[in-house]
Structure 1
């Protein structure tokens, strides 16, 4: 029987689970996923991706999470979501957009920590929307980044985001730009966080050694990454089945014969058996319910500690 209901705002989420804690929680969540400790029903998609419903059940703890997302790319904010977590006689209802950007940033932090050069100091983020800030926060949490280039189609939005992040990270240099080609010529790490339907760049525009994260394209009709980037790259995905169903880049690369499904390395198992990679590495995420569960479980844990004081 459920007891109290806890309602959390976006501000409550941010105060309770900073990015470093989110990365730890999501890393543990993927270890649990690799161990077979989740029941993950297929994501429900309505209205050509306008509404998504994701859920996850964790049998070892008897806890579960359900998230409903509304997506309208022509509106601000583009994502509106609610997360419901149940367990331990409690029900937690939280503002879901903050959890979505936090857990997406966190999984990029996990993948970047696994694949990117340990001494990486230069980061380029392509995109200035709601997902972009947590992409920066996540990479800065796991690598000694000194220079961040914020690349967007709007100079004003790129500048505004750079200024906001510079105030949060005073020891890091932030450079806004609309020059995509220049911004991807020399970074050690690139994060793509756009809603592009066509590839943002060609592979030959990138450094020979670079780690690329791509989280923006979440429909089969969307593509941030070019087909030729997957050639001779180590390719990591959050979950193979989800990527083959939802990632336009992965679907195209497999259907064209550029890579095979066997080339797709899943994040969870890779945490225990890291791939030996040199040169270019790619992490493609479409998101899985285990990530939402991990953040919601961390929130619930904080609430329990608070109630015991």
Structure 2
């Protein structure tokens, strides 16, 4: 008989303390860069309407976890998809199941944390203006995390729906709305792309010298244009972002010319790679997600929830 902790969506979200998630995700990224994690290739079962993916992983010191996530078209939002799932955390020493939690808020904040860490590591030190492109759940999670860790940095939000853009911008004390995506991007030192785009949403011509772009969307197509990819130094969570086909790999990083190299973000965070080479260099971090990051966030949620006495304990 073993007892597990069940966290519903609200408790999962409350237990994902932003600064602790940032710290744990940084640890996981460094472990990925050093090839210290155990993460098998992603698998999925497909139906005529969507898929169910499985992402198990182990990060030494953070734990052993697996995410099951379904990705289905959302009839209420044409052109968009829903992501629903659960994350199960296990004891890494004896294999006991420890906790079961909602995958949606966990995925949102670990993705936002990864993007934020990329900006901290790769953006110019004087980059004092941020653009967030997108108005959906991931964009809102990114804005909320920036509000928690950088509340004084101006954030301009742009998307297809001005009302949703205004609602998202209101999550940040220094948030504002740009009328067009180009208006938000021009002059920004850091650009976070958080969309469900199938075609590029930003253009190379809009980017000032030294801009950092963090692209976490584009699961169904390229979010960043080919000219930006051509001119930027490229970074990712794992080498598979460039060496595996979508959806595991990134659309933007497929079939790179000979000699193009993708640097792991964890190597930069560990001080094993310099990252940005000069003030005018464009840097592009392309995120595809990684099971080790789910492990990191699940570890934080479990630790915080137990300390606060949150959740329901269930005996199996």
TM above 0.5: yes
In the other structure, the counterpart of 1:305 is 307
Alignment of 1:121-200 (within 5 A): 121-140=128-147, 145-163=152-170, 165-166=171-172, 169=173, 172=174, 174-200=175-201
In the other structure, the counterpart of 2:68 is 68
Q: Please give the alpha-carbon distance, in whole angstroms, between the structure 2 residues aligned to 1:18 and 1:228.
A: 37
In the other structure, the counterpart of 2:312 is none
Shift of 1:141: 5.4
RCO higher in 1 or 2 (8 Å CA, sep ≥ 6)? Answer: 2
- CA RMSD of superposed structures (Å): 2.3
Q: Please give the alpha-carbon distance, in whole angstroms, between the structure 1 residues aligned to 2:197 and 2:182.
A: 16
Q: In proportion to residue count, which structure has more helix? A: 1
Which string of whole-angstrom CA distances, capped at 9 and with x for unpartnered residues, describes residues 158-181 of structure 1?
A: 122222x04xx3xx1x22234112
Task: Give secondary structure in 2 for the equivalent of 1:131.
Answer: helix
In the other structure, the counterpart of 1:80 is 84
In the other structure, the counterpart of 2:294 is 292
TM-score by length of 2: 0.84
In the other structure, the counterpart of 1:100 is 107
Task: Give secondary structure in 2 for the equivalent of 1:40.
Answer: coil
Shift of 1:69: 1.3
Q: Please give the alpha-carbon distance, in whole angstroms, between the structure 1 residues aligned to 2:224 and 2:104.
A: 24
Is the CA contact 1:127–1:194 (under 8 Å) kept in the aligned structure 2? Answer: yes
Shift of 1:212: 0.4
2:257 is the alignment partner of 1:250: no
Is the CA contact 1:123–1:149 (under 8 Å) kept in the aligned structure 2? Answer: yes
Is the CA contact 1:243–1:286 (under 8 Å) kept in the aligned structure 2? Answer: no
Which string of whole-angstrom CA distances, capped at 9 and with x for unpartnered residues, describes residues 105-156 of structure 1?
A: 0111111110112232211111100100222234455657532111111111
Shift of 1:98: 0.4
Shift of 1:19: 1.6
Q: Please give the alpha-carbon distance, in whole angstroms, between the structure 2 residues aligned to 1:241 and 1:304.
A: 35
Shift of 1:303: 3.9
Which string of whole-angstrom CA distances, capped at 9 and with x for unpartnered residues, describes residues 222-273 of structure 1?
A: 1000111123322110101134322101115x1xx2x64x510011222222
Is the CA contact 1:120–1:143 (under 8 Å) kept in the aligned structure 2? Answer: no
Q: Please give the alpha-carbon distance, in whole angstroms, between the structure 2 residues aligned to 1:135 and 1:276.
A: 22
Q: Please give the alpha-carbon distance, in whole angstroms, between the structure 2 residues aligned to 1:143 and 1:263.
A: 31
In the other structure, the counterpart of 1:271 is 269
TM-score by length of 1: 0.86
In the other structure, the counterpart of 1:47 is 46
Q: Please give the alpha-carbon distance, in whole angstroms, between the structure 2 residues aligned to 1:192 and 1:233.
A: 15
Task: Give secondary structure in 1 for the equivalent of 2:135.
Answer: coil
Is the CA contact 2:195–2:217 (under 8 Å) kept in the aligned structure 1? Answer: yes
1:281 to 271, 280, 283: 283
Aligned pair count? 292
